[in-house]
A and B are shown apart, each in its own frame.
Chain A
């Protein structure tokens, strides 16, 4: 009896390890290929007997990438756009989410309907007018065109609203009011500190979304020097698809790196935030 149960337990451990291995291989395989490919010489990328580790380890593809493409400025653009968007969105979403969660005021429901409405108006369904609007405002090839549309994402308002509803006790706010705190003080001295974990989750999500954004940058930015990293990849891809894969793999490796590093450091918060950000409460 004892023995058979022990065997069963071992079998299960073995099975779950096997499963883990399979899942890891399926999920990581393209990444491994991408990273190792970026260190290979061209002749090694396409062979019928591919090696996982590059035999001809070289950094030549990275050198070529930086020589032929404005990759550094693209990196800088991405950092600028992503950081400003993230900071702005965290501030504005917290303000809005907190207000919706904790205050009663005329037209609240109507205003909340507007938040819901933004979920029904994705960029993809208004590409042309948005492009024309930004072009008319002089936003073509400008970084602020990439920042502005992402400053108050609706899902961020939802996220912060649901956190603030339980995360900031009404009693605490009342107590602060009795002591003479203004509402602004309550927002910045009470709500923001108490919502820090939620704001942090949101920040990571927005950072990721903005960094990975692709469609809007390629529409509104046409000068290579102003493109973000993810958008520049398309240009590199168009040129490199007939053979120059090495450069392309070097570029993809570098552009995924910031997100991967973030993911390694803030793994727990990111996994939690992504699931919470899906909107299901």
Chain B
């Protein structure tokens, strides 16, 4: 196509650009510009007020020598380890149960199962904080113990994982269920004819056929765990002794509690660099997919 033709085509289709303009403007203004500006700030020692001077790669260098950075990174990975495998497995089991044709009351199940998900994570965290308090918290009252779920370093991450699994399993179960319902009936029939038991069927048929959905759920989980601030902020405040400070919470604290805007920006770029692999996979396999056909 000649450049002149392109121009005519653009003029002819100008309504398309007009309709996309809110998106384009907000993207440039509130996404792209801050992202670039953040990169610039990460090379300065900006304190959020006056002083700002270029410090080169100092902030990045500092991060790699900062024990708290490593600790928060480690905490994030541990949280991932506590949450994602267990939650994905639980959600898969739940989806299998909900997929059963003989089950009654599936609409009620679905509605109830999503209740934790539709509730603000801040509210969930507040309620769990009250439930898990060591002195008189209901969980301790029920088990008859005085365990410091939130104030012992060994347990703070477990508590966050527990709450997170409670909040999100239902949602992921329904996402998996939607995929499971696409498995053709004939596959199940063939399995039944071959005398395949339910457990064998689960591992040999359901899991392999669902691998795309399971991958999607794990991917989204991973990205969300790396991004999640509110769970940590409300439930444990990152404590005790930073035992539950995650990387993104450390980014937040550096910026808004310690006024280290430069350092915080550098940390968030490190976070971004780690996330980009996952978000790229997500976009490539799931969001970008349909566009290729057109």
B179 at the interface (CB under 8 A from A): yes
Q: Contact check, A109 vs B291: say whether CB atoms are below 8 A apart.
A: yes
B141 near A30: Cβ-Cβ < 8 Å: no
Q: Taking the complex as formed, is B15 at the interface, i.e. its CB lies under 8 A from any CB of chain A?
A: yes
B220 surroundings in chain A (CB, below 8 A): 278-279
Binds B, one of A68-76, A170-178, A267-275: A267-275
Instruction: Say yes or no: is A206 at the interface (Cβ < 8 Å to chain B).
Output: no
Q: Mark B162-176, 1 if CB is under 8 A from A, else 0.
A: 000010001100110
Q: List 24 A-B contacts (CB under 8 A).
A: A16-B103, A16-B105, A24-B112, A30-B166, A92-B22, A96-B22, A99-B19, A99-B20, A108-B16, A109-B291, A120-B283, A121-B32, A127-B264, A133-B30, A133-B33, A148-B26, A183-B15, A219-B256, A233-B123, A237-B129, A267-B107, A270-B114, A275-B174, A280-B213
- A116: contacting residue among B129, B233, B234, B288, CB under 8 A: B288
Highest count of chain B CB atoms <10 Å: which of A27, A98, A133, A249: A27
Q: Which residues of A are interface residues toward B (Cβ below 8 A)?
A: 9, 12-13, 16-17, 19-20, 23-24, 26-28, 30-31, 33-34, 37, 45-50, 92, 95-96, 98-100, 103-106, 108-109, 111-112, 114-122, 124-133, 148-149, 151-152, 157-158, 162, 165, 183-184, 187, 208, 211-212, 214-215, 219, 230-231, 233-234, 237, 241, 245, 248-249, 252, 255-256, 259-260, 263, 267-268, 270-271, 274-275, 278-281
B interface list, Cβ under 8 A from A: 6, 9-10, 13, 15-17, 19-20, 22-24, 26-27, 30-35, 37-38, 41, 48, 97, 100, 102-105, 107-124, 126-131, 135-138, 141, 166, 170-171, 174-175, 178-179, 213, 216, 220, 223, 227, 229-230, 233-234, 248, 251-252, 255-256, 261, 264-265, 268-269, 271-272, 275-276, 279-280, 282-283, 286-291
Cα–Cα, bound, A111→B175 (Å): 28
A165 nearest in chain B by CB position: B290
B279 proximity list for chain A (CB < 8 A): 119-120
Chain A residues, Cβ within 8 Å of B255: 127-128, 131
* Nearest B residue to A276, CB-CB: B178
Q: How far is the CB of A49 from chain B (nearest CB, A)?
A: 8
Tell whether A125 pairs with B275 under 8 Å between CB atoms, given A30-B127, A105-B10, A248-B130: yes
Question: Judging by beta carbons under 8 Å apart, are A103 and B115 in contact?
Answer: no
Residues A105 and B9 in contact, CB atoms below 8 Å apart: yes
- Please, which residues of chain B bring their CB within 8 A of the CB of A16? 100, 102-105
Q: How far is the CB of B291 from chain A (nearest CB, A)?
A: 6
Q: Total contacts A to B, CB within 8 angstroms?
A: 261
Of all chain B residues, the one with the shortest Cβ separation from A108 is: B16
- Tell me the bound Cα distance from A127 to B272 in angstroms: 11
State the CA gap A101–B33 with chains docked (Å): 27
The contact of B10 among A106, A112, A256, by CB within 8 Å, is A106
Q: A245-B130, A252-B127 are in contact. Are A132 and B20 (CB under 8 A)?
A: no
Given contacts A16-B103, A27-B112, contact A47 B136 (CB under 8 A): yes
For the complex, give the distance between the alpha carbons of A16 and B99 in Å: 12
B34 contacts which chain A residues (CB < 8 A)?
A: 126, 129-130, 133
Min CB–CB distance A115 → chain B (angstroms): 7
Quick check: A212 and B119 within 8 Å, CB to CB? yes
B131: chain A residues within 8 A (beta carbon):
30, 33
Is B102 a contact partner of A271 (Cβ separation < 8 A)?
no
B252 to chain A, nearest CB (A): 6
Across the interface, which residues of A come within 8 angstroms of B136, CB to CB? 46-48
Q: How far is the CA of A24 from the CA of B287 in the complex (A)?
A: 33
A210 CB to nearest B CB, Å: 11
Complex contacts, B32 vs chain A, CB 8 Å: 121
Given the complex, which residues of B lie within 8 Å of A26, measured CB to CB?
A: 166
A149 close to B122 (CB less than 8 A): no
Q: In the complex, which residues of chain B have a beta carbon less than 8 angstroms from the beta carbon of A212?
A: 119-122
Contact call B16/A129, Cβ cutoff below 8 A: no
**A118 is contacted by which of B31, B37, B109, B138 (Cβ under 8 Å)?**
B31
Task: Tell me, in angstroms, the Cα distance from A184 to B19 when the chains sit together.
Answer: 9
Q: Is the CB of A152 within 8 A of B26?
A: yes
> How many Å from the CB of B71 to the closest CB on chain A?
19
Chain A, Cβ-Cβ closest to B170 = A27
- The chain A residue with its CB closest to the CB of B260 is A128
Q: Are A124 and B19 in contact (CB under 8 A)?
A: no
Question: Which of B22, B97, B122, B264 is most buried by chain A, counting CB atoms within 10 A of its CB?
Answer: B122
B24 touches A114 (CB 8 A): yes
Q: Please indicate which of the listed interface residues B103, B131, B264, B282 has the most CB atoms of chain A within 10 Å of its own CB.
A: B103
